[in-house]
Structures are given as C-alpha cells and as structure tokens.
C-alpha cells in the first residue's frame, strides 16, 4: 500500500461479521486503506485461526478483533447499535442467518439508512442456499484439472477483492446520495471471471497462452523448471539472440533450457531484461 492510499478511508468505520477467508481478507484490505475495522467473531472463533494460525495473525493485524454471542438479546442489541454507528457492514453469512439477527437489508436499511452493507455469499439467488467452498466454486467455474488440487484459493481471493471494490463503490454512492447501498458479492461469480481467459480461447491446452506458443511456455532446466514468457516480438528476438538459435520452436527451446540451472536462467533474465522465472519456487 502506497502512502497516498494508506489514509484513503481514514474516518471510515467498518463492522465485519466475517470468518474464514474472503471476508477477513476484504476487511484487512479496507484496514490497509485506512478504515477502522471491528472484526466480530462468533464465540467459537474464526476457523481460519485453527487452520492457519500464521495467516490468520497476518490478516487480523491492525483489526479490532472481538468475540460476541449474537444469539444473546442484549449482545444483539449492542451489535445493532455498533452497526448503526458504522459506515459499512461486511458479512459472510447466509441470508437466513442475517434475517435471524435482524441484519437483512430491508431491516438494516430501515433501522440505519446511512449504513452500507456488502454481503459475501457463496452463490447469489436462486442458489443462495446451496452449500459450497472455494473448491466447489472453482469446480463450477471450470478452473480445476482433476485429480490435481488447486494451488491456491482463487475463488476466495477474487471474492475478497470484489468485496473491497463493492465497499468503495457503496461509500462513493452514499457520499453522493446520503443513503446507504447494498451489494451482494457471490464467490462463484468471482471465480467465473477467472475462467474468462479459458472461455475466450487464450489458456486452453493448445491456445496461445496455454502452451501453443513455444516462447510462452514451461521448460525443464537442469535442476527444475523455468517459465518463459517472451510474448512480445522484441522479447522473443532478444531471447533468440541470447540463445544463439535460428528459431524459437519447442524442440530448440527444450534443448536450450536443459543446459543451465534455474538460477543461471534467472541471472540471464536480469542481465538481458527477459521475462524468465524459476517455476515452483515459493518466495516469501
């Protein structure tokens, strides 16, 4: 976050009834933009704290974390007061659960007309009650290659970013109209957006960015794999000249990249301004 944006939401108060991944990530992003975020967890806590204590701590750094029992009438009344004094309510509950707490949009808007509400849900109507998680949403979006499990939780991460965009838009609308706005962010819809390159003929197995272009592909180095993304003509020509080969076809590149280590290829990339990177290496 640049200094210019770190205070963009200074003075904005967010109440976040969120657990797991998309909601907390969105809350942390709003905090990074300067908002004060109160993360209110159920009495059992956030499952992410057990599944990944390190990541949970990173996400919650800077958030005001508190546990509440919203089933208790007194605590529920106090919750309504806190939300009424906030600028934005961020939730990751199903609609039925929100209604039981008196936080469905009609009830919330009638009680606190200036409060914005961004709901992160698995799927929007008419499938709002269908159970799911990142894996099933990726499956519905066509992002899986069974039997391999996904390397990251792309649906959850995408939904978090969508929720932040929705929150910023809602705050802007309220600044113009004086009234709170309501937005529903469906995780499966966010995942569908990440399928767009595949649907539109870019990343399928034989498509240009899916292995169809020799200069945009993965090659085995002497100690691992190297990602080659010499997509533009000037990069391709520079790579051809550096390899001292006549053409950039797959057999030629396969033979060439096998001669050096991934570290040597990355050194060459830095020296020659080439888009090459070791694949499969996690960098902190």
pLDDT for residue 280 = 80
Architecture per CATH, 208-279:
2-Layer Sandwich (3.30)
13-38: pLDDT as tens digits:
999 999 999 999 999 999 999 999 99
Delimit the CATH 3.40.50.10540 region(s) of the chain: 3-196
How does the average pLDDT of the chain come out, rounded?
A: 95
Mean pLDDT computed over 247-253:
97
Mean pLDDT computed over 246-263:
97
pLDDT for residue 220 = 97
pLDDT for residue 30 = 98
31-59: pLDDT as tens digits:
999 999 999 999 999 999 999 999 999 99
Confidence class of residue 5 from pLDDT cuts 50, 70 and 90? confident
pLDDT for residue 80 = 97
Evaluate if residue 6 carries a pLDDT over 90. Answer: no
pLDDT for residue 2 = 52
% of the chain with per-residue pLDDT over 90: 95
% of the chain with per-residue pLDDT over 70: 98
pLDDT for residue 95 = 92
Q: What is the CATH number of domain 3-196?
A: 3.40.50.10540
pTM here is 0.91
pLDDT for residue 161 = 97
Contact status, residue 139 vs residue 132, Cβ threshold 8 Å:
no
pLDDT for residue 111 = 96
Evaluate if residue 62 carries a pLDDT over 90. Answer: yes
Q: Among 123-127, 133-137, 179-183, 225-229, whose mean pLDDT is lowest? A: 123-127
pLDDT for residue 222 = 96
């Amino acid at each position: 976050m640049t200094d210019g944006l770190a205070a963009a939401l200074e003075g904005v108060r967010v109440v976040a009834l969120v657990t797991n991944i998309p909601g907390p990530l969105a809350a942390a992003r709003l905090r990074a933009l300067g908002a004060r975020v109160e993360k209110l967890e159920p009495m059992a806590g956030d499952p992410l704290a057990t599944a990944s204590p390190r990541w949970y701590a990173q996400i919650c750094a800077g958030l005001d974390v508190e546990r509440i029992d919203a089933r208790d009438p007194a605590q529920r009344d106090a919750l309504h007061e806190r939300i009424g004094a906030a600028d934005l309510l961020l939730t990751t509950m199903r609609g039925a659960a929100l209604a039981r707490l008196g936080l469905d949009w009609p009830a919330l808007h009638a009680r606190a007309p200036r409060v914005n509400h961004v709901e992160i849900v698995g799927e929007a109507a008419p499938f709002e009650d269908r159970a799911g998680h990142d894996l099933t949403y990726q499956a519905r979006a066509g992002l899986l290659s069974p039997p391999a499990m996904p390397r990251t939780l792309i649906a959850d991460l995408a939904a978090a970013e969508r929720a932040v965009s929705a929150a910023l838009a809602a705050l802007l609308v309220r600044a113009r109209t004086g009234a709170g706005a309501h937005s529903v962010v469906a995780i499966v819809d966010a995942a569908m957006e990440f399928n767009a390159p595949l649907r539109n003929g870019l990343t399928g197995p034989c498509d240009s960015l899916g292995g169809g272009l020799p200069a945009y592909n993965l090659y085995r180095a002497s100690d691992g794999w190297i990602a080659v993304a010499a997509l533009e003509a000037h990069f391709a020509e520079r790579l051809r000249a550096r390899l001292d080969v006549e053409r950039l076809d797959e057999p030629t590149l396969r033979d060439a990249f096998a001669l050096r280590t991934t570290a040597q290829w990355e050194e060459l990339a830095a020296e020659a301004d080439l888009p090459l990177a070791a694949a499969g290496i996690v960098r902190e």
